[in-house]
Structure formats: structure tokens, C-alpha cells
Amino acid sequence: MIRSIGRKGFTTPWPLLMPSSPSLPYFQVQLIRIQIRVPEFEWTTQKGFHLMNFIVNGLRAILFGLYKSVFLIKPKVLEMVIMEIPGLLFFSTYTLLVLFWAEIYHQARSLPIHKLKPAYCIINGVMYIIQIGIWIIVMLEHSPGAVIVAKLFFSVVSFSAALGFLIYGGRLFVMLRQFPIESRGRQKKLYEVGCVTTICFSCFFIRCFVLALSAFDKDADLDVLDHPILNLIYYMLVEVVPSALVLFILRKLPPRRISDRYHPIE
């Protein structure tokens, strides 16, 4: 069903808005639940992860809702910026999970962890700087080659994320398997790490492959006005469904912090 809104002649495919929308309240509610559970911690990786997921899926829902309008934006570079920002934020969101796993692995192996967060910030910072540089080149040169470079760069970024999940997810999984069978929570953690690693590796690898293919084959480009359904399926596979599955698997709240103070029985 297509419903008209706004100016005359402009239609928004509302079904495209729906896939991201149902998950948005969940991200917000989960973030609030975590804050209520551990209010003494101002900010944690888990809170940041949920907040960034909320932002990414919110932006993607808006883009789905304004699908036709986005592809009519001129100049081309502005359209690229609008389309690529959610993907860049998606990378930052899920590499935050890689960082969290890397910290767990390094602590368990008694390895230094003080360089992990700076490395995360540097990698993401360099990625955004390079991407901004590519946008500037596209704006100045208006050449198809610059657009190809942009897609290939995004493909490399996606591949690096997939590799990060494969390395640290794999290491954490192997480490957990080495724990005694009777260890409390071992099986559950194995399930969580294994599933999340598989889901995230798959979604980033699919994105890497599709972007690399579309860089050299225009018919494979899904970010065009002519392929709304394929565009929907693509982003469902590489963003919406993986986000929903990961957040469902990692839905457990952090344990309540027990106060050290003595509370007499009244």
C-alpha cells in the first residue's frame, strides 16, 4: 500500500518504514532498563551499544520512509552521505561489541587492555576521515571512479568488521570451550558468542560482497530508486534482522550491584 504525504506527487512506501520501526522501542526500553538496574554506572559499553543501535535503526527507518525523496536529492554526494551514514554508524556500533569481547579475552589471558579502546577510537576516526575525504572528492570531481572508490572503501570496512568478529569471537569461543564442563554459565556463553559471531560475520561479509560487486556492476547496485524491494531485503539481511537477533540473544540485564552498606532489619 502506498500512501501520499507532503507535497503533491510525493509518495512514501510505508511498508519499507516498518521493518526497522518495531525494533526501535525495544532499544530504548532496554537502555532504560539497564539504567534502572545499574544507575550507579554513568556509562557502560552495554549502554553505548544499545544507544547506538537505537540511532542506527532510527536513521534507517527514516531513510526507508523517505525512500523516493532520498534518491531525488541533488547533488549526488549529498545522497551518498545520507545513505552511507547509517552504515558507518552500524560499523561503529558493532565494532564496539568486538572491543568488548577483545577486553574480555585480553583480561582472561592476562594481556594488557589499555590499548584496546584507543585502537577502537583510532580505527573509527580514520574510517570517518577517509570517508569524508572520499565524499569531498566525489563532490569536486563528479567522476564515476570516485563513486567506485567509495563503494570499495565501504566494502573493505565491512570486511574488516567481519574479520574482527571472526578473530575475537572465535578466540572467545575457543577459550570458553576450554573451561570445565561444569563451569557455571559456560554453555550459555558458548551459545551467545557462537550465535552472535556467526550473525555479525555473515551480515558484514554479505555487505562486503554486495558492495564490491556493485562497484563494478551497476545492475548489482541496490541503493537505487528502481530496486525498492531488493533494497529492503538487502538492509533487512545486513542490518535490521542481525540487530534484532543480536539484541535478543544479548538481552540479559547486568546483575544488580549489592550495596556494601549494612541495612538493619526494621
**At a CB cut-off of 8 Å and minimum separation 6, what does 137 contact?**
146, 149
Q: Which three cell numbers stand for residue 159?
A: 570486511
How far apart CA 237 and CA 200 sit, in angstroms, is 11
Q: Which three cell numbers stand for residue 218?
A: 551497476
**Could you tell me if residue 2 is inside a domain?**
no
CATH label of the domain that carries residue 125: 1.20.1070
Output the pTM of the full model: 0.78
CB neighbours of residue 52 within 10 Å: 17
pLDDT value of position 12: 36
Report how many domains make up the chain: 1
**Could you tell me if residue 113 is inside a domain?**
yes
**Could you tell me if residue 24 is inside a domain?**
yes
Q: Which three cell numbers stand for residue 44?
A: 557502560
**Could you tell me if residue 22 is inside a domain?**
yes
Q: Which three cell numbers stand for residue 133?
A: 575525504
**Could you tell me if residue 51 is inside a domain?**
yes
**Could you tell me if residue 50 is inside a domain?**
yes
* Structural domain that includes position 102: 13-249
**Could you tell me if residue 258 is inside a domain?**
no
Tens of each residue's pLDDT in the chain, 266 residues: 333 333 333 333 333 344 454 555 555 566 566 666 656 556 677 778 878 888 888 888 888 777 777 777 778 788 888 888 989 999 999 999 999 899 989 998 888 888 999 999 999 999 999 999 999 988 888 777 888 888 899 999 999 999 999 999 999 999 888 877 666 677 888 889 999 999 999 999 999 998 898 888 877 776 655 667 887 888 888 988 898 898 888 877 656 655 444 333 33
**Could you tell me if residue 263 is inside a domain?**
no
Pairing of strands 11-12, 3-4: antiparallel
